Structure 1
């Protein structure tokens, strides 16, 4: 059995850790609320952008655009969005497993990593890291998404990639973050817009110019939306993980306190027994 001094030291250490996890939970809760508000505000715009793309693409007919060009997927890139830090449960691990599962059967793959955790994992395994974006901060800006989108579009247009897939975490609720993968390039107009075929749009100056503007905006919006979803999921996962850690610390403190009280009681009982025994020996 551990000594009273060791038990007191362990209890003090766990209490210090508990204070840290409790503070991290509070900070993550505040950040999660801000990130959740951003996601909820961005979702209607992202949905409308997909609807508009589907309608315009269906009405434009056979207009050619580099971002719509379908090629044999010999060189595939994966845009993986993870966190820069850990302590968020299985958030990063689930995304990395999703990416690993998707690329295991492909020969020529490149990784575009957003976040240190994904970059470090695939760099240690000698995967080709085409580009990395780390330290984006807690507040995601449209400019950051545009920078990522410009790189992806440039590489695809130059023929460096034949297809680009986006892997991110969908924020469902505080307890559920679901890894998702969508095809980013070539752009696939959303299916099911049958009514759009009946609409006769007038394009000014022409359909090709409209798509030249719309398609890059669509890619930027999808990247921005994925970053917001992942940030909200990260903060939710961290808040949940820190809450569990705080509760586990409390349970450990209770168990150690009980052990300490038993050890103290045993020591007192032993001392009393020695006193009684000594007194009996003097009689």
Structure 2
């Protein structure tokens, strides 16, 4: 009977775990719906604005150009690794860590590379091996454009100051609830458009190209950075919902297997007791 007690305890434990993972799945699904609507509404605007200003910036030469477009020999690189503050999201955080390490050890091998982390999970791992100059965990507590602007403005300032020659964002780009792609997106300098796409469409600029570049490019960069964080948040909820769905299915399968083992063991115990009773009765009759 000790075996039956052990099985009962395991069934109870697995059932409790299943309830937790199921609840977490529903919470993530609710949060995902809101985050998905936000990123899908923002993405077309951000991409079109970036495309327009990249093209416009490329058409200006020399001193007319934006300081954010300045191309330098790459010696100092800053990687902005965007993860989450919580786990239980499958490979969501580990993919960011892996991609960041790949950039440091392969793409920018031989360069001076620093890391700025957004999210506790990436910071916990990367800070043990690499130079992490800053970590921003609290930004996810209140993810607003104004709060994010403080970080993006700091990145823009240190680039203009010449501290870094290139700044790259590493984050999960939301595709759907089951799919998130790791993006390695150059934030600064603004990438030049080459080939046929480099020509500016037949726009009328008012007041002038130069003033538009001066005023809108900083805003465009802030929108681009905000979009990356929005993408990451939606990806996190999608990854966690998928992970908790699989965990719930696995817990259900394990619980059913344990129940079957319990019923078999209980049936065997009952059969043994019946045999003992019958054997005792026959001995008394003899």
Shared fold (TM-score, shorter chain, > 0.5): yes
Residue 182 (structure 2) aligns with: 179
Runs of 4+ in 1 over 4 A off after TM superposition: 200-203
Q: 2-side partners of 1:11 and 1:202: how far apart?
A: 70
Deviations 1:33-56 (Å, cap 9, x if unpaired)?
Answer: 000000111011112212320342
Residue 30 (structure 2) aligns with: 30
Residue 116 (structure 1) aligns with: 120
Alignment of structure 1 residues 79-228 onto 2, 5 Å = 79-105=80-106, 106=109, 107-125=111-129, 127-137=130-140, 140-191=143-194, 192-196=196-200, 199=202, 201-202=204-205, 204=207, 206-228=208-230
Alignment of structure 1 residues 254-273 onto 2, 5 Å = 254-273=256-275
Residue 64 (structure 1) aligns with: 65
SS in 1 for 2:182: strand
Greater Cα shift, 59-68 or 2-11: 59-68
Note closer, same or farther for the CA distance 1:76–1:101 as it changes in structure 2 (3 Å cut): same
CA RMSD between the two structures:
1.9
TM-score normalised by structure 2 residue count: 0.92
1:138 Cα deviation after fit: 6.1
SS in 1 for 2:216: helix
SS in 1 for 2:212: helix
Q: 2-side partners of 1:200 and 1:40: how far apart?
A: 27
Q: 2-side partners of 1:124 and 1:156: how far apart?
A: 25
SS in 2 for 1:112: strand
Deviations 1:147-190 (Å, cap 9, x if unpaired)?
Answer: 11111111112221111011111111111100011111111144
SS in 2 for 1:86: coil
1:2 Cα deviation after fit: 6.7
Note closer, same or farther for the CA distance 1:41–1:190 as it changes in structure 2 (3 Å cut): farther
Q: 2-side partners of 1:194 and 1:213: how far apart?
A: 21
SS in 1 for 2:163: coil
Note closer, same or farther for the CA distance 1:147–1:2 as it changes in structure 2 (3 Å cut): farther
Greater Cα shift, 28-37 or 115-124: 115-124
Q: 2-side partners of 1:160 and 1:231: how far apart?
A: 29
Deviations 1:61-90 (Å, cap 9, x if unpaired)?
Answer: 442332111111111000111111000111
- Mind listing any 5+ residue stretches in structure 2 that lack a counterpart? none
Deviations 1:194-242 (Å, cap 9, x if unpaired)?
Answer: 451x6375453x5443322222112111111101111111000000111
Q: 2-side partners of 1:69 and 1:55: how far apart?
A: 14
